Chains A and B, each alone.
Chain A
Amino acid sequence: MATKASRSAARLMMAPAVVLLLGWMLVPLTMTIYFSFKKYLPLRGGDLGWVGFDNYARFLSSSSFWPSVQATLLIVGGVLAITVVFGVLLAMLLDQPMWGQGVVRILVIAPFFVMPTVSALVWKNMFMDPVNGLFAHLWKAVGAEPIAWLTEASLPSIIMIVSWQWLPFATLILLTAIQSLDSEQLEAAEMDGAPPLKRFGYIILPHLGRAITVVVLIQTIFLLSIFAEIFVTTQGSFGTKTLTYLIFQRVLESQNVGLGSAGGVYAIILANIVAIFLMRIVGKNLDA
């Protein structure tokens, strides 16, 4: 790819893909922005003309807006914390030579293959059901009052479900990172008098820095838009209404496309703010 001719040939051949991707991205974005400036009620009169920033003002002043931003951030933050902490621990465990390593590794990855809808339903009905759920039985077995998970502790429950789904991803990436650690470094630290906890803090954790950054950035992108887990469990009640869910309600339940589109633009802005923060905090791990 060094000569002038091969460079321009490369550009020519990449062009179709670039145009397609650009269209793929730009068309929905433009339409969202277009509708966000209109009063558009599909079942109640259709396109009722331009309204300027009305939708934006209404979405922002709605009583559900700030709680939804808060719920979104809590879920993203909670899931990130749980998956990174347990991911590091699990990865270190799986890195140890042990009997049945291959099978255990596949079992750990398995939750990632379960569709979000299915896993949320399984959790809701099999584990968290206050009458028949496994947790309820467990609580009764030790003589405690069963918890109605999804109504009494709805946000933690959702964080738990989503963490369960994303833990394999974090574990897998962190495991490959741990495996690339030069064992002589650990031995050198051992000879230098560092006990296991210090070896973890001074050698393993810094080595994992870059992998943790990747896990955090990728998960954030997907976690900001979780939907199925909320839809099949709490339907957005009990303080679990995320920004995504709020937009869904505005568009489909209230049949207000304009308002929903304005919410969509806010969601883009929120995602960017979160991304900028994350890049500030962890992004420096990526260079070097």
Chain B
Amino acid sequence: MGRITLDKVTKSFGAVEVIPPLDLTIEDGEFAVFVGPSGCGKSTLLRLIAGLEDVSSGQIRIDSQDATAVPPAKRGLAMVFQSYALYPHMSVRKNIAFPLKMAKMDPAEITRRVEAAASVLNLTDYLDRRPGQLSGGQRQRVAIGRSIVREPAAFLFDEPLSNLDAALRVGMRLEISELHKRLATTMIYVTHDQVEAMTMADKIVVLQAGVIEQVGSPLELYRTPRNKFVAGFIGSPTMNFIEGPEAAKYNAHTVGIRPEHIDVSETEGPWSGVVGVSEHLGSDTFFHIHETGLAETITVRAGGEVGFNHGDRIHLTPREDVMHRFDAEGLRIE
């Protein structure tokens, strides 16, 4: 069906090694998300799987068949590009029908599948328009429609939502998750938005400079990040890191504590500092605390009703049971 295995895959552009040897397995039906900072090789990895780039060494297996040398069209994968890559001179109908037409499918069957895909994606009213006459979200759905009609073994998405506005992004995020639940097909999704990663993934793959830092479910990564990089990347706002004598108290080089794991109080607590900027989101408030003597800034999440003013001195209590400890190399200490 759609089990994808990368075995010691590497990729170099000229002398630059973008992906050092990398092993990864994505199970059939899984929603895997690649996250990482810009330029870490997420798109490259996806394109290697798609077959749009050749691997420099190593093997890619799809359903335990060696697919390393198989051309993209024969791998049975469908890709949704960041720019959507719709064919501008074809109507929406023709765009969606294109892969079926290339597969020389029977015209009646093509019509049936295109209309089925269009009704799933709410595109029925737009079938005769050109891509240029659609909104960003509609184009996105056409791109998805074009990929689902082929019934591929797996879907590859390269930052499909990055061109959309915030509200639409939330909506499309739900739609894609919904689609995954219904089709139960393997999906690999690239993003650098950790909220997308947390909300959509069965399995998150955190990448840095082509190296996999950690693989796991969203909650695993949130609860037990393997190192400082993952700890800082997963979770919003980012984790506070404290070094020096305070960390030494916990037998660690660095301790990390998430903003939501610090309690605030006007009167008591082991740490104290001065309130800087407060961000009121309604449900929550984020306080940026200075002059704690621990780190430059400590971010704290409190309930929406908590109101401190700029310049107030307040006290903080970290919850020690959910504190993360790291050694000098940045690795987690259990």
Chain A contacts to B: CB under 8 angstroms:
182, 184-185, 187-195, 198, 202-203, 206-207, 209
Contacts of A190 in B (CB 8 A): 52, 71-73
A187-B85 CB under 8 A given contacts A193-B103, A194-B102, A202-B98 = yes
- Judged by a CB distance under 8 angstroms, whether B214 is at the interface is no
Q: Out of A184, A194, A202, A209, name the residue touching B85 (CB < 8 Å).
A: A184
Q: Can you offer 27 A-B residue contacts whose CB atoms are under 8 A? A: A182-B85, A184-B83, A184-B85, A185-B87, A187-B79, A187-B85, A188-B87, A190-B52, A190-B71, A191-B50, A191-B51, A191-B72, A191-B77, A191-B78, A192-B98, A192-B99, A192-B146, A193-B73, A193-B99, A193-B102, A194-B98, A198-B102, A202-B87, A202-B90, A206-B87, A207-B89, A209-B89
CB pair A185–B99 under 8 Å, yes or no, is no
Interface residues of B in 67-81 (CB under 8 A from A): 71-73, 77-79, 81
Number of interface residues of B (CB under 8 A): 24
- Separation in Å of the A200 CB from the closest CB of chain B? 13
Contacts of B99 in A (CB 8 A): 192-193
Measured in the bound complex, the distance between the Cα atoms of B85 and A207 in whole Å is 13
A189-B89 CB under 8 A given contacts A184-B81, A202-B98 = no
Measured in the bound complex, the distance between the Cα atoms of B86 and A274 in whole Å is 35
Complex: chain A residue closest to B89, CB-CB: A206
Measured in the bound complex, the distance between the Cα atoms of B279 and A155 in whole Å is 80
- Separation in Å of the B75 CB from the closest CB of chain A? 8
- Separation in Å of the B92 CB from the closest CB of chain A? 15
Measured in the bound complex, the distance between the Cα atoms of B198 and A280 in whole Å is 56
- Separation in Å of the A204 CB from the closest CB of chain B? 11
Interface residues of B in 43-102 (CB under 8 A from A): 50-52, 71-73, 77-79, 81-83, 85-90, 98-99, 102
8 closest pairs, A vs B, by CB? A192-B99, A188-B85, A184-B85, A193-B73, A193-B102, A206-B89, A184-B81, A191-B72
- Separation in Å of the A257 CB from the closest CB of chain B? 51
CB pair A192–B89 under 8 Å, yes or no, is no
Measured in the bound complex, the distance between the Cα atoms of B77 and A195 in whole Å is 16
Contacts of B102 in A (CB 8 A): 192-194, 198
- Separation in Å of the A205 CB from the closest CB of chain B? 10
Measured in the bound complex, the distance between the Cα atoms of B78 and A187 in whole Å is 11
Interface residues of B in 121-161 (CB under 8 A from A): 146, 150
CB pair B79–A191 under 8 Å, yes or no, is yes
Contacts of A192 in B (CB 8 A): 73, 98-99, 102, 146, 150
CB pair B103–A185 under 8 Å, yes or no, is no
Measured in the bound complex, the distance between the Cα atoms of B102 and A172 in whole Å is 32
Contacts of B88 in A (CB 8 A): 207
CB pair B87–A191 under 8 Å, yes or no, is no
